[in-house]
Structure 1
């Protein structure tokens, strides 16, 4: 809390500094003309203006039909980046604006000088941008994302799936690292599945998918990293956007994102308020044939999870001079959820005769708070590419789940009353230092240090009311878990370009110290280990339009907090999900090869990959003789995954844009549990296709299809799942506003269906977390019209 108060004081001081500043100097104009090597003008190219001190984007424009461009700028030091499809990126350094207009004269763009270190394949800010080590998806370009939340957005990403419980998977694996602005964050929370639903989509700028991270990133995450980039603006003056959303089932919200830039200080603030309800339903049939007893029962459930959440962030950038910048942010999130569920069990004998009906209801309150304070210092040098960055962050999180249960049976007049409490408190501190030193013309060396300390306390208990109305603790559901995690890391990485070949290699070392302690049963598990994690990335430019990429990394996946917790939800009295305090991390060798093809009207990135995993964690289902089912994660075996993936963007016309992606893979897992060999060998795939049309110049229509094929598991199989989304948007208020209407899961088909078969036990279930949703959103941009990145027309005057 002391760190947060210090940052709050810094905010007040900086605001006072802003008010004391003089009025900004009048804007000047930077102009020039773009030509290709044949002296022909380059029309409709993207011309972006960046601050030389910290490389922040300040503004930009598009060249006209004659290749002419102009950008307004305050006096200062800048550089300009020019991009255009089919031509190499052009960087104009040392753009110094005094108190008069600056004419850069003619700038020539070449087709033979493309930088391999960052392969952005489109000159415009499209929905998808391909870089050497990641794919960037600008979420505002996807109409089905508007008015939703972070969980919904991730479910629309290629190769990413979010199941009906909210668990995120990349390339079929849930061992994926989720970051906010490149760093771990309490916004993701102790329970990421629920926390992601509390982050409004209106506050998110883009999603980065990093399937084979380099050594500069944490080694955590078997299949890679999903980085959620939040919106942040650094334009001069007062700028921002406002968004309001209404939908059904109940989904209401509003948000704003503002910045005020004046000379050396940029003040930023954003806020999002959201209220939503998520009605869901499910059913299952369980059958067990044992040596001593047998049972059959059907279950039907009706659920509704909902409530409101507030997300607020305030921060400032202080530009000390052209080489030093200090950034401080303070963010706070509060949510109040009220969840309810009703379960009905129908018991049958093996003659299919109904023997009893049991009903069970739950009413849960779930308040959460999260406070984060962050401080960043960035220093650049006169030598281009040299930089030093220092980060510090402090996180406080608190969550309480309090539930009341009432269960009654048709065979017994007396009802069973129960209640449960689950409190989770987290403290997290991290500090990080990164340094980049350029070598020669194209090379550089990077090095860094990081330390993080995470302390979690979880107190869980279940009480049951006896015949005298007294609350009695159930000892098998009463404990206190203390989780202490310390991770200290360092890395070094070097890269260089040799003709058509770009090479990057690094080595990361991480020391992990984790203590898990169940205090009421005196179960203590202390693990300390040191690992080295190498990474290698190669890129070879076959020709101007084609590039080959190769990469390797060694990674691990530590058990999540929920996976270690020996008790979980008590909602279902017959199916209990429990963690395993003795879980060990998974280790993964990851290999990937990719081919990038730039075409006149699109791009195609094709990849093949292979992952070898050790200590694979599988959820094991066990059933006792009275029908009580326990699902527990264990380190089961080894696993191998082989896959092929492609990402295609294609624009047949200026008014029609298409994207498609597919991930086709084979997964083999094998191990032994309780002297029983468990093995799965499955071929499956996931895909998404989107088509977007611009109609009548100002109306956009989008349709997208998501499909997840069936797959085998070690104890059964998951059946297929699909969803269709539609969206329609129109610019209003002279381009300063946009109204959007969308429907998610048009046919109400996004349901999890699974089958489990194991030694006389059979279960078939279907569950839908959230039904079809319709949303209407209105956005308004303050002091800036909509930034259209695409060309209005092709040169051959194509008709709509």
Structure 2
């Protein structure tokens, strides 16, 4: 019923947008030039008004060559303004479009520079919230109020085609195999714990999120679902400036400081940010019913407990940009990330054995389990990039180095005290330190053969080198710990990838079709000293293509195909048994093969005269050698000569295939000048097939965002998202509903603001009921996850800025915007 109601609301919005935003076919074009330097003025703001009206009907920004085109205009008389900070505004009126003159050119627009220093600046031009590009979708976070005191996961919940569950697990078009990047670069911080890493990045530091569902040949082939690139904030203006973001709340606290300096050809930026999740208590209970091999006895295992936990993190970094000459640019970044979490728990346990035939009780063992865990991760990221431009526009050579050096430590302990049997207290404690080094060297070369054909090629070499070890002590005689040789080990794992690619961008059939096609080759080699493991290397040939056709200036269709893989990581391959919970044990599988994915995507995008936008995408994905985590119940599991009773063993394996078919619909509708509605509906069917078993599950996700501009400096926003339940291979994922409210007031000429936020204000906990099943067990789990929070945020931008277009012939030192990260 919820799905039908939300679908009806969504379709009503579409109908309303069509009725209200009857798009025209008129277009106004031009080229913005600095009147003194004769250089293009990029990012100039072009705004179109109905003659006599103060409300704009459309607008755009000039590109790097100064060109612009405002489309979707109906016949009529207009006033056109061209602005850039530090220049005198240029006004054209009347500009008349008629049915006979659908396209009108303003030709060269000369802007006259004003040489002045501004103490405070108000920028009224806004980037669109959603940008659909031929190779990616961009979500701009500048006006994301409900996530303003949150973290990266809160931003991702609003991104089209992305879903986030209550545990921080992220899916892209229904796939959890995603390659995450920060500013286009990998980081070892993601390898330690993806959910923790995404909760360590304050939302206030994020400029945009780029979603690439059909990556081209230039991108790594890893990640069957695609790529998510988190772009951190920067600044492109001349001078010294900065910003402060602070937030406090009942569950989460954030803070960040950015300082940027740019003069001439040299730019420098530094930043520091951090957050802290205050102590929260989650509750859980599980009831597992399992059978032994002969099915003559039944095991009922029950757990009920509470788990307090808190988390903290901070990041800092510096970024240097030097335009050595008009055709040579050097960029270097250095970043450091740290996050940690600490948790504890008290769990009541009951283990009963019964006769299957009569239900008679054979034994009843009750205990109390106390556990503690501490996780800490650190990563230092270094990046150096050199770019050489040649005389021909677009002819470029890039050389890049990325290095990430991470360390992490996991300390854990648990003890079980038995209440109704004469058993001694059992327990263990372990320490698990590890180090990871990621190194990448990449070369890219771009050659425009003609205006309609460009060749791109390059190569890449990357190494992921990891060392890890576990030291485990077992409680003996209720008082002393002794070294457990079966749970103490060390290993070294190295993965090397050699890659090369060739791709071409083209325009065909008199601009009827634009696209990009390419082929990437990767050779993956693995070296590991896992016990008894011999991991074979493999070759990957990954073709891809994307084609797009513009039906007119307001709508386009796109078709894409990509070949992707998912490489098993070291924790998937390592055959060591993790027995931190003796009743729920996990291990790796050294014979895993990479998962192979073939993805097809079809998209449609339509914009309207007054800013409305509708986008549709459908996808088909077939994965073979599908990687799935499989749980098997053992009445008694023997590991290194020790018997463990009533064990659920989890291990990833290559199982058959997985086929996913789904669609995504997005709409943004400016209902009035003050009220804007956005909705996103994603639905899909996923089928897991393996010999003798096939499971099909349908799931959908719906979100709705409403923002209202009460006054020039006061704005409010409401956001809600619902994830439906989905049947998987061995479980049914529970549904979840989250909602949030926010209001923001700007002051001091919009250089400062205060915001109030509330997440799930009327629900302290979100109840997650999950059913898991296997050949010889069934389990029901209830988790009560704390979701309620209230917060207040404060932002302030400061500095004396000189807004002036740089002359590309000026070789004086200059420093970048670095306001945001690695």
Shorter-chain TM-score range: 0.7 to 0.9
Higher relative contact order (CA 8 A, sep 6+): 2
Is 1:421–1:461's contact at 8 Å kept on the other side of the alignment? yes
Structure 2 residue 726 is matched with structure 1 residue 741? no
Is 2:772–2:780's contact at 8 Å kept on the other side of the alignment? yes
Distance 2:728 2:626 in 1: 13
Structure 2 residue 702 is matched with structure 1 residue 700? no
Is 2:240–2:262's contact at 8 Å kept on the other side of the alignment? yes
Structure 2 residue 260 is matched with structure 1 residue 259? yes
What corresponds to 2:315 in structure 1? 311
Where do 1:493-504 residues align within 5 Å? 493-498=503-508, 499-504=511-516
Distance 2:62 2:45 in 1: 15
Aligned residue-pair number: 711
The CA deviation string for residues 99-135 of structure 1, in whole angstroms up to 9 with x for no partner, is 989xxxxxxxxxxxxxxxxxxxxx9412211111211
| 1:170 aligned residue (172, 179, 185) | 172
Deviation at 1:496, TM superposition (A): 1.6
Change (3 A) 1:144 1:658: same
Is 2:403–2:440's contact at 8 Å kept on the other side of the alignment? yes
What corresponds to 1:185 in structure 2? 187
Distance 1:314 1:49 in 2: 30
Distance 1:89 1:146 in 2: 41
Deviation at 1:175, TM superposition (A): 0.8
SS of residue paired to 1:144: coil
Distance 1:588 1:404 in 2: 39
| 1:767 aligned residue (770, 783, 793) | 783
Structure 2 residue 300 is matched with structure 1 residue 296? yes
Distance 1:447 1:126 in 2: 32
Change (3 A) 1:237 1:172: same
What corresponds to 1:640 in structure 2? 659
Change (3 A) 1:540 1:568: farther
Is 1:245–1:775's contact at 8 Å kept on the other side of the alignment? yes
Distance 1:33 1:640 in 2: 45
Structure 2 residue 246 is matched with structure 1 residue 237? no
Deviation at 1:94, TM superposition (A): 11
Distance 1:759 1:372 in 2: 46
What corresponds to 2:148 in structure 1? 146
What corresponds to 1:133 in structure 2? 135
Distance 1:395 1:91 in 2: 49
What corresponds to 2:84 in structure 1? 71
Which range moves more in the overlay, 271-280 or 545-554? 271-280
What corresponds to 1:19 in structure 2? none
Distance 1:211 1:684 in 2: 19
The CA deviation string for residues 407-433 of structure 1, in whole angstroms up to 9 with x for no partner, is 212124742232011112101111111
Change (3 A) 1:474 1:161: farther
Which range moves more in the overlay, 651-660 or 379-388? 379-388
The CA deviation string for residues 460-504 of structure 1, in whole angstroms up to 9 with x for no partner, is 233212128442333443332321111111111111223221121
Distance 2:537 2:750 in 1: 57
Distance 1:484 1:92 in 2: 58
What corresponds to 2:492 in structure 1? 482
Deviation at 1:396, TM superposition (A): 1.0
Change (3 A) 1:539 1:635: same
Change (3 A) 1:191 1:34: closer
Change (3 A) 1:427 1:760: closer
Distance 1:784 1:46 in 2: 28
Deviation at 1:567, TM superposition (A): 4.5
Structure 2 residue 626 is matched with structure 1 residue 624? no
| 1:434 aligned residue (440, 444, 450) | 444
Structure 2 residue 214 is matched with structure 1 residue 205? no
What corresponds to 1:110 in structure 2? none
Deviation at 1:375, TM superposition (A): 0.6
Distance 2:103 2:601 in 1: 26
SS of residue paired to 2:536: strand
What corresponds to 2:623 in structure 1? 613
What corresponds to 1:526 in structure 2? 535
| 2:376 aligned residue (367, 370, 392) | 367
SS of residue paired to 1:189: helix
What corresponds to 1:114 in structure 2? none
Which range moves more in the overlay, 134-143 or 148-157? 148-157
What corresponds to 1:669 in structure 2? 688
Distance 1:460 1:492 in 2: 43
Distance 1:465 1:621 in 2: 28
What corresponds to 1:554 in structure 2? 563
Change (3 A) 1:254 1:234: same
SS of residue paired to 1:621: strand
SS of residue paired to 2:150: coil
The CA deviation string for residues 569-609 of structure 1, in whole angstroms up to 9 with x for no partner, is 65533112333222211001111111111223411111111
What corresponds to 1:709 in structure 2? 724
Change (3 A) 1:149 1:571: farther
Distance 2:529 2:459 in 1: 29
Deviation at 1:40, TM superposition (A): 11
What corresponds to 1:591 in structure 2? 600
The CA deviation string for residues 117-167 of structure 1, in whole angstroms up to 9 with x for no partner, is xxxxxx941221111121111123222221222233223323322334333
Distance 1:469 1:264 in 2: 67
Change (3 A) 1:579 1:665: same
Deviation at 1:726, TM superposition (A): 1.7
Is 1:452–1:486's contact at 8 Å kept on the other side of the alignment? yes
Q: Which runs of 5+ in 2 are unaligned?
A: 1-35, 68-77, 88-101, 117-124, 636-644, 804-822
Distance 1:547 1:91 in 2: 25
Q: Which runs of 5+ in 1 are unaligned?
A: 1-24, 56-64, 75-86, 102-122, 788-800
Change (3 A) 1:416 1:468: closer
Change (3 A) 1:89 1:284: farther
Change (3 A) 1:581 1:742: farther
TM-score, normalised with respect to structure 1: 0.82
Deviation at 1:750, TM superposition (A): 4.3
SS of residue paired to 1:526: coil
Is 2:50–2:79's contact at 8 Å kept on the other side of the alignment? no
Distance 2:108 2:286 in 1: 64
Is 2:46–2:61's contact at 8 Å kept on the other side of the alignment? no
SS of residue paired to 1:219: coil
Where do 1:65-104 residues align within 5 Å? 66-73=79-86
- Name the Cα RMSD after superposition: 3.4
Structure 2 residue 439 is matched with structure 1 residue 420? no
Distance 2:347 2:142 in 1: 39
SS of residue paired to 1:158: coil
The CA deviation string for residues 720-762 of structure 1, in whole angstroms up to 9 with x for no partner, is 2221122221112331112122222343464543212223411
What corresponds to 1:448 in structure 2? 458
Distance 1:38 1:723 in 2: 41
